[in-house]
Amino acid sequence: MSNPDAIAAVTATLQSILFQGLKDDFSGIDVTMRPLDKARQDNETNNRVNLFLYQVVRSAAWVNADMPRQVLPGEIGNPPLPLNLFYLVTAYGKDNDVAAPSGHELLGAAMSLLHDHPILGAEEIRLATQGPFPDSDLDRQIESVRITYHPISLDELSKLWTGFATPYRLSAAYEADVVLIESKRPTRSSLPVLTRGPDDSGVTAQGDLSSPLPTLEAVTPPKKQPSARLNEELVVTGLHLDGTSVQIRFDHPLLATPILLAPSAGGTATELKVTIPNQPANWPAGYYNVSALVTRTGETFERTTNELPLALAPSATLAVSGNAPGVVILTATCAPEIWPGQRASLLVGSNEIVADPHPAQTDTLTFKIDKAVAGTFRYRLRVAGVDSLFVDRSVTPPVFDETQKVVIT
């Protein structure tokens, strides 16, 4: 595996290959690695090949791959940074090709050398980098670096030279694939598994698609209601809900810790019943996440089921102060208590009235109607998006709750 010096090591190796292969046939040859606008100065007339790294891209083939022989099955490795390097090879002939097209001859020789070196050998890399980059580890990389000709259009070449504001020179592009730079994050490796279960019995198989683990399928309020109220019984249905210890957990955003309740006696593996206690100060209205905690027979640890939503509805009785058409104050006695930050409103007929501020937890809310209209109106209290239950759905057809009316005179 390579380290961040590997990019420079590839460039240095290519420079060495070109120089060693060209020095005997071209007098005064040098191989530079300058940007395009610095590759040839006005006072320079010798033979030169310029090797310019113009682009670095991530290799799609290695982007999520663990390194072979470094990450064993079951371990969580960190993939290396895989890079493809793109070089532009430009030749400058002696005396700037005034007497003969020496640059063309030089470019052909350079391309022939790279054609004959499709893979950077480990010894070539060590010899080229032993001075400037001795610790790049590129020579020990598990995947060899391959050098291939990279077809590039005249338009792309022109953009490269134009970007450096320098006249175009005949060039050839090459790709070096791939450089694997090792991640510095540690690999995670778990301890081996000694047994597959109690008494090394292995996994448990069953002949259907139902979950083998404790699972909730429904949390049902009584009387076909969409939500539950304090002191009402819920029916919790699911799979594998039996065990030596079973609890129902209720989680609400306002609660510091979830509430745990023991189900009623007589529960089965598929059905439990639990009653929400009549504790208005401890159970804020709104939406809860309900799950079951089950310790199964023969196990010493607790399993947690999936979560299902449950709406806990408020209830309210109203007292009226004032007369229409003036200001009327409606005072609601609520259960559960309303917590600070909970939005509470009263829907009287088709009009919504927001409660006066309640900075502390309270069971009393006031609602002000500036221009009241006389009449008898059905009302419902809405807290945290959950309405009080004002429709009796246990009969067919459903009927309104006649107790939730307010008379304004």
Domain boundary among 156, 181, 206: 181
At residue 80, the pLDDT reads 87
pLDDT(257) > 90? yes
- Does residue 90 share a domain with residue 35? yes
Residue 195 inside a domain? The answer is no
Give the pLDDT score at 276. 97
Say yes or no: 290 and 334 in one domain.
no
Residue 13 lies in a domain: yes
- Residues 89 and 173 placed together within one structural domain of the fold: yes
pLDDT, one tens digit per residue, over 259-270 is 999 999 999 999
- pLDDT attached to residue 263: 97
Do residue 233 and residue 110 come from a single domain?
no
Least-confidence region, from 228-242, 285-299, 392-406 = 392-406
Task: Report yes or no on 186 lying in a domain.
Answer: no
Instruction: State the Cα–Cα distance between residues 295 and 247, nearest whole angstrom.
Output: 9
| Euclidean distance between CA atoms 121 and 221, whole angstroms | 74
Residue 6 has pLDDT above 90, yes or no: yes
| pLDDT exceeds 70 at position 70 | no
Does residue 161 share a domain with residue 89? yes
**What is the share, in percent, of the chain residues with pLDDT greater than 70?**
96
Q: What is the structure's pLDDT at 90?
A: 95
Q: Is residue 205 part of a domain?
A: no
Q: Are residues 25 and 140 in the same domain?
A: yes
Cis peptide bond prior to 49, omega within 30° of 0? no
Q: What mean pLDDT, rounded, does the chain reach?
A: 91
**Which residue segment(s) compose the domain that 363 sits in?**
315-408
Q: How confident is the model at residue 2 (pLDDT cuts 50, 70, 90)?
A: confident
Q: How many domains does the chain have?
A: 3
Torsion 106-112-114-116 (CA) sign? negative
Task: Give the model's pLDDT for residue 183.
Answer: 84
> What residue type is 171 in one-letter code?
S
Residues 32 and 150 in one domain: yes
pLDDT at 255 over 80: yes
Residue 198 lies in a domain: no
Least confident of 113-122, 188-197, 256-265, 374-383: 188-197
Phi, psi of 176 (to 5 degrees): -105, 120
Q: What are the Cα distances from residue 369, in Å, to 42, 246, 252, 324?
A: 90, 49, 32, 9
pLDDT confidence band for 207 (50 / 70 / 90): confident
Instruction: Give the pLDDT band of residue 135 (cuts 50, 70, 90).
Output: confident
- Please tell me which residue, 308 or 71, carries the higher pLDDT value: 308
Amino acid at 359: P
Residue 149 sits in a domain whose CATH number is: 3.30.2000
Q: Are residues 290 and 343 in the same domain?
A: no
Here the CATH number for the domain that contains residue 279 is 2.60.40.10
Considering the domain architecture, whether residues 57 and 74 belong to the same structural domain is answered as: yes
pLDDT higher than 70, residue 385: yes
The verdict on 304 and 321 lying in the same domain is: no
pLDDT > 80? residue 199: no
The candidate with the shortest Cα–Cα distance to 401, out of 299, 333, 317, 323, is 317
The residue from 312, 337, 363 where one domain ends is 312
The pLDDT score that the predictor gives to residue 74 is 65
- H/E stretch holding 142 reads none
Cis peptide before 325 (omega within 30 of 0): yes
Strands 48-58 vs 81-92: parallel, antiparallel or unpaired:
antiparallel
CATH number for the domain harbouring residue 349 = 2.60.40
- What's the pLDDT at 1? 62
Query: Where is the domain boundary, 296, 312, 328?
Result: 312
Mean pLDDT computed over 99-109: 91
Same domain flag for 308 and 323: no
For residue 149, pLDDT over 70 is answered with yes
23 in any annotated domain: yes
**Full-model pTM:** 0.56
In a domain, 209, yes or no: no
Clarify whether residues 248 and 342 are in a common domain: no
Q: What percent of the chain has pLDDT over 90?
A: 71
The amino acid occupying position 85 is L
Q: Residue 375: pLDDT above 90? A: yes
Is the residue at 154 inside a domain? Answer: yes
